[in-house]
Structure 1
Amino acid sequence: MKRNLLRIGAAGLAMLFASLGSLSAAHLTGLSLFGVTTFGNQLVTIDPMTGAGTVVGSFGDTIFATGLGVRDGRLFAFDQVNDRLREINKVSGALISSIDIGVGNLTGEGALTFRASDGVGFLASPLNANNEPVNDFFMFTIAASGTAGTSVRVGSTGVAIDAMAFNSRGILYAIGQADAILYTINPANGATTAVGPIRVGSDNLIKNSPIAGMTVAPANPDRGGLEEIYASIDDRLFIIDPTTAAARVASADVINFGPFVSSVAGLAFAPGAGTLGNISTRLRVGTGENVGIGGFIVTGAPSKRLIVRGIGPSLTRFQDPLQDPEIEVFNANGVSLARNDDWRQSQEAEIRASGLAPTNDKEAAIIGNLAEGTYTVVLRGTRSTTGVGLVEIYDLNLGNGSRLANLSTRGFVERNENILIGGMIVTGSAAQRVVTRAIGPDLRARGVANPLQDPQVDIFDGNGIRIAGNDNFGTGGQTDELAQNGLTPGDSRDSAIILTVPPGNYTALVTGVGGSTGVALVEFFNLTR
């Protein structure tokens, strides 16, 4: 079991908790603090104010990453298993490239960093292939193709290095593997110079694990423009003065990514990236104009690989689940692209491999690659059956360049469990600016005979806490932003909310004011570019 391994005296403890209230993060706006876990093989984000950690996703491979570097806004880690540089997708955490830079047999918990001015990379490796403490220091470049690189050993650091990072002026800082000393490294030959032991208050930090991560933050105006070092040591987040090695503690609790001590092996500030990874709607599926009709938009290139599901029989907590759902996907010209009744009839192997196979054989699912464009999915009951159903769309290649930008679902709003419920999952490492709309009276102009006359929308987070609500969109104080994005509803009784939401699960409940019923549309638009 992971233990609290930070050992400092009473004065240090007092400094620890006193410092927590004095932190400011205005200079970090637009940046995420990324980390990699050596044993978990995951990309994570860490709150620089509190040290709270969130898993972005798994690498999908075992690489025992040590060090995390940023080059042109992209994240890279060194793969100790295959001696390759690996780029990491900031939305999903998946490995998306493997670059041979000509460095092999690096062992021990080393470090990786890039110099921002020219994109040149540096690696430190305490041990060679024979586990001899050579403390090698390498410099490498990546070819313009991005598929290969070249490296050269420029010297030895003389001491085992655990983590290293450049500041904006090209000064290379490092943390010793065993001694918790802050060093500078000469990039030309690897020679190290001690700044001093890292200390909290008057107590030197005692480092228990040979794994650590560090990065240099942008200049902090609250600290006289100092570019402070953020370091993960023994699974606590420290903020270090690079001129004195004096540290304050950002995390009162252990950053817990597994049972191992000091699982975070690299840190880096970089612009975050996010998307809507899943969008769904639960509704009562009727017949005629009261079937479930969902629309979604794919933006960007390349094509987006999606799975669309129609769920019914597994919704057992509802009194009247749709017993035999079927789905059909159409393009913007109304041409049917695919149809499915029971998911095991076709694409069974692909659907199972996605990890999103429905739990009931009577439910429907389709996997496909869709180019940029507008699409419609119709959810109906086989042989005109009715009941509560769920239409879902999942992005199967997060962060590949294209994305789900919009979902809208039309359905009949009743009362109690038969209201219209939309869901979205924000994935990745950055908050997204999302418009949620509930459209009712405006549908009459689109030929709907029985529209909901006064819709209300309420937004809840993944803990079921209501975070926002709106009845008439003009009362929300967001009319200008709605107009700027071309999303002003056509009737004053329609509802709309704009929120910036961090990664997580969200639900939108559409009801009729005063218990009214009728056909409504729930919509999510991602404004983040």
Structure 2
Amino acid sequence: MPQIQIQTFSRISTATGTGSSASSPSPARSDPSAHDLTVDFHPPALHPDPAALIFLPATLPAQLYQPGDIVENFTLTDRATGKPVSLHDFEGSIIFLEWFAHWCPFCQAAAARTVSDIDQYYHDLGGNPDGIPVVHLHLNLQGGQEAQTQAFIDFFHIGRVLNDFEAAVARRFQSGGQPIFAIINGVAASPSHKQWELLYSHLGYGNLNQPITTFRSVIDSVKAGAVTAPEPPAILRHPLSRTVPAGTNVTLAVEAGGAGPLAYLWKKDEEPLPDATAAVLDLGAVEASDAGDYSVTITGAGGTVTSRRARLIVADPIPGRIVNLSVRSRVDGGGSPLIVGFVVEGGARPLLVRSVGPGLAAYGVADTLEDPTLTVLAGGNTVAANDNWSDTGAAALTQAFRQAGAFDLEAPGRDAALLTELAGAHTVHVNSRDATSGTVLTEIYDLGADDEGARLVNISARNVIGGGDDTLIAGFSITGNTPRTLLVRAVGPSLAQFELTGFLPDPVLRIFEQTTDGDILFATNDDWEQEANADAAHSAVPGAFLLQSASTDAALLLTLPAGSYTAVVGGPAGSTGEALIEVYEVP
């Protein structure tokens, strides 16, 4: 076995007596970084041939790193595994590099301290004061003397060793000599240093008065950056509902972004399709059995997101239209009326208009408006009005309720309803006859035939709402079996352009689909510009006023399958203000 001798001295020379030497003062023993320990490592059986010892040339390389420089990535061979190891493999750590040659007495003196006072020290602490891990790499400069080098490694309990036999990497840090020390920051977004910045570089050990203190102070100066979570997956384009005849080739597609790689899994009616794991789902020539609701779940490094449902109907297309628009909100008996606007485009349509207060109690709605009154206006002029629906034309109204699919009203009753035929833009004003307050539902039903050119294309309502459960709700129904594209908006801050104050500062919009299993959330939005299709939504309806840039208004541009939906506008808990809800059919 080789003999290892450890000696204390204040001056030391290389094993051959021809190498450089340096004076080493003897600091006080109480200084934790003080050293008067030097290792005279020359096992007799393994002492190298002096002619074989490597000394780095004293020639200055073309580009010598200086503290503050960015260190380029380099790759060396791991002595133990023979596999390549790169600097960038240690991203997120502070890298402490220590070049050595087994015969170098100053390398021996350094190894006697750094393994315990750097490597083990930071391992036990779990990193530097900011919790950044410290990686200690020894880089071997001496090739061809494996037994002596291994004895050195075993004696000092050295961990990971990389081979730098040609000193190609060492020469970028120091022009010659050994040991060489370098400390590099591998932490991204550190507020104290740039990533891969050289923090410290030094040649020699015996000429350092307090080496461990010096090394630790550099390592401890690195501050951790804010932890940046991987960008979660976000859907840029949802799959769209379709209605096609049997035999049509159908593909459904999704477009997503976020930290990759992204994994896809399509579902049909909530059941996974095992082989459908791409962004595009090719269904081929579809049959009746392919009909259903499709969605896709996307998983990335930052989490998981699921698309909106795309309904595939396999049948001959039947064009659809909006046949029912409704708004549910609260009327303040001592204040302004609830105002509901609507537009009939393409000619006149027969309409059923209702304002239901007491009739809501049968459906579990509390605090209903006891006696609503209903007035329809065009340009400020009254065109129709009603107080108690059953006082005039009750039989015709009851028949219209059933034709429209509306729930019956109690007779005699204090709900309001009327039949009229209208074209163009109108408003409905709902007031409280007895000055009490309560919740009211205002409905507009299109009673015309499907093949007529005229149609309901817009409904809107503006009212003061509160946070939590005090919301503004709009409902709408689409007939036929083909999807329709609608723009739904919840406007608060953008009302300021009309010199309105007291608006809801941050409206939130949620769209629910009414199904036999209850209402299912279809889509939601907080700030309109967060939507991937925000630009398209901004200009989707000619004549609609524009939302203000960077505002906290909400909007959704959706292609919806036929069915019934509700749009709910609310705000953060504790917030109140005036909000406008709008539903537009997109041309």
Q: When you count helix as a share of all residues, which structure comes out higher? A: 2
Q: Using CA pairs below 8 Å that are at least 6 residues apart, which structure has the higher relative contact order?
A: 1
How high is the TM-score relative to the length of structure 1? 0.49
Rg (Cα) greater in structure: 2
How high is the TM-score relative to the length of structure 2? 0.44
